[in-house]
A and B are shown apart, each in its own frame.
Chain A
């Protein structure tokens, strides 16, 4: 009796999560998949017809936005690594007793709504705002110069909004490095630069890997930053999906685009993991 219980226990533990996944992930996925293969309109209703052409039509109509989203996502992710790594490094190795406070500061913007924060960036970057107006008064930039509505503003928004997701995993990886391992590298004739390249960075790679997954996916499918900080020239696929769903009520196209985006991201992430799987990453770095 006891043995049976013990064998069942793990399954009981996984049950809440399993049910949650089924109701809120698997069922909607199937509903969306079915929706993407339906035809009709909001007035007469939709019927399942297996009309897969919606996919090809959606791709050819919005391939520009899909590609742009991926490019923005990649650029934002690269910038995020460049900004977050030194931050995490500094907190982990020079934070001393205030490490917790510094991490809290990184997380502090989270306590303000995502949309609100993005809108405040709009006010900062606007032509008459506190950045551009003084620069223009000083004659450092031309009258025609503006940031809002450009890809720069959108990518800046993405980088700003997802920074904590890159800082935290890198910080955790750096924090776990045994300081004596770093000393051992110094002891074995490695100068500070070589120590970083051969020991610290390879040991932090799992954190970078996690950070990339946690930022690239939401950044590529983001629909707020381009809406608030961009223009019609910076439209991202997330916005298109949102518009199709909520304004045009073109559910099949919106669903199809969602699946396309998901597939593209999955392919991207898996090939990334394959090339730079955490285990292999270390071996590559070791050479």
Chain B
């Protein structure tokens, strides 16, 4: 796809290196009053989101991600702490005076206005000249592929089109940051995947900081530069999608992002930076461990299902350096590109194993089969503290 020159919209793409973060939270917390009781929604949070970053707030419902976003927008004020936009303290500044715009979950388009009037709303409030408004609305409608839809009213448009109007209505103002609250939640799978790519393209084109709230880990992984995983009002982990997936900082993150197998056990031996957890004479888990780990320590280890090899016979000799767990297959589910096995292991935990259906057309094992699971030491990951 050729990228048209949207010079005006690009204007801010080059953020000054080493300048203030686009958004910064300093010691922010937020309590709600519910039935006379104080309920913490966001606990003491420090956060810095860089210029031009695609940043996701990921977590289950009620984790505080939406409250965090609403504090950036100015719809909620922190109970304590400060919010900065581009280095300026905006704590206590009302939403209409903040240079950020929001794409709402249900789009929240003005039902009495057509596409053009919806998109022009913000510029009109800013008293931008009429011909300048019409130029910028035309330009942004081109970016979101809605040219020719100016006269349509929201109810005459599909969900996907309304979504684009909501996006255009926010972007046309060239905000310092764009806040997106589960914007793809109402779309069907196909359209959602299409819009994910589209959003990423638009973000590259306009160069504005995107803060994206979602409970969909797949969406967060594919689109984000960095992700903050939230749970119970706390950021559990902040990092790139790869960091979060490969090295989850807590049991919660390991479980929330993709599928994880988690086993715990006591350290039998520490040798050459590897800790060994034994369950029986053959069953053992090997995990890279820091110096501080001692014999007898209790560890929690996470292993991703696609890293595990499944064998029907006695494990091959080369596996002796890594982890080996024996078990019984309790479930086989065919997924097209892969087959997923559930194995009840000697370590006490049920394991999920993804086996790519690449070369072997037949399943490796059936329900009730005795199997051996093996994986390399570097694919074991010691969780958090």
Contact = CB atoms under 8 A, between A and B. Distances in A.
Interface stretch (B104-112, B220-228, B236-244, B311-319): B104-112
Interface in A235-287: 282-283, 285-286
A183 B108 contact: yes
Contacts of B73: 187
A116 interface: no
User: Considering residues B101, B121, B122, which has the most beta carbons from chain A within 10 angstroms of its beta carbon?
Assistant: B121
B126 A189 contact: yes
Contacts of A172: none
Contact of A191 (B96, B113, B169): B96
A124 to B, nearest CB: 41
Interface in B271-319: none
Given A188-B101, A190-B96, A199-B110, A183 B125 contact: no
Interface string B84-104: 000000000011110001101
A185 B94 CA distance: 12
B58 to A, nearest CB: 22
Given A188-B125, A188-B173, A194-B125, A183 B110 contact: no
A185 B118 CA distance: 10
Contacts of B110: 181, 184-185, 199
B75 interface: yes
A283 B153 CA distance: 11
B203 interface: no
Contacts of B102: 183-184, 187
A178 B112 contact: no
Contact of A189 (B108, B109, B122): B122
Contact of B108 (A181, A282, A286): A181
Contacts of A188: 96, 101, 121-122, 125, 169-170, 173
A202 interface: yes
User: Considering residues B104, B111, B112, B170, which has the most beta carbons from chain A within 10 angstroms of its beta carbon?
Assistant: B112
Contacts of A178: 106, 108
A189 B96 contact: yes
Q: How large is the interface on A (under 10, 10 to 19, 20 to 34, 35 or more residues)?
A: 20 to 34
Contacts of B121: 185, 188, 190, 198
B196 interface: no
A183 B95 contact: yes
Interface in A155-209: 178, 180-181, 183-191, 194, 198-199, 202-203
Interface string A199-224: 10011000000000000000000000
B35 to A, nearest CB: 11
Interface in B191-242: none
A183 B104 contact: yes
A181 B96 contact: no
B339 interface: no
Nearest to A195: B96
Given A183-B75, A190-B125, A282 B112 contact: yes
A181 B95 contact: no
Contacts of B109: 181, 184
Nearest to B179: A187
Contact of A186 (B95, B105, B117): B95
Nearest to A282: B112
A286 B96 contact: no
A29 B104 CA distance: 54
B125 A189 contact: yes
A286 B109 CA distance: 13
Contacts of A282: 112
Interface string B106-136: 1011111100010001100110000000000
Contacts of A180: 104-106, 108
Nearest to A206: B112
A283 B104 CA distance: 24
Nearest to A179: B108
Contacts of A286: 112-113, 117
Nearest to A188: B122
Contacts of B108: 178, 180-181, 183-184
Contacts of A184: 102, 104, 108-110, 169
A181 B122 contact: no
Interface of A: 178, 180-181, 183-191, 194, 198-199, 202-203, 282-283, 285-286
- For the complex of A and B, list the 9 residue pairs with the smallest distance between their C-beta atoms, beginning with the closest: A188-B122, A180-B108, A189-B125, A282-B112, A184-B108, A186-B95, A181-B108, A187-B102, A189-B96
20 contacts: A178-B106, A178-B108, A180-B105, A181-B111, A183-B104, A183-B108, A184-B108, A184-B110, A185-B110, A186-B74, A187-B73, A188-B122, A188-B169, A189-B122, A194-B125, A198-B121, A282-B112, A286-B112, A286-B113, A286-B117
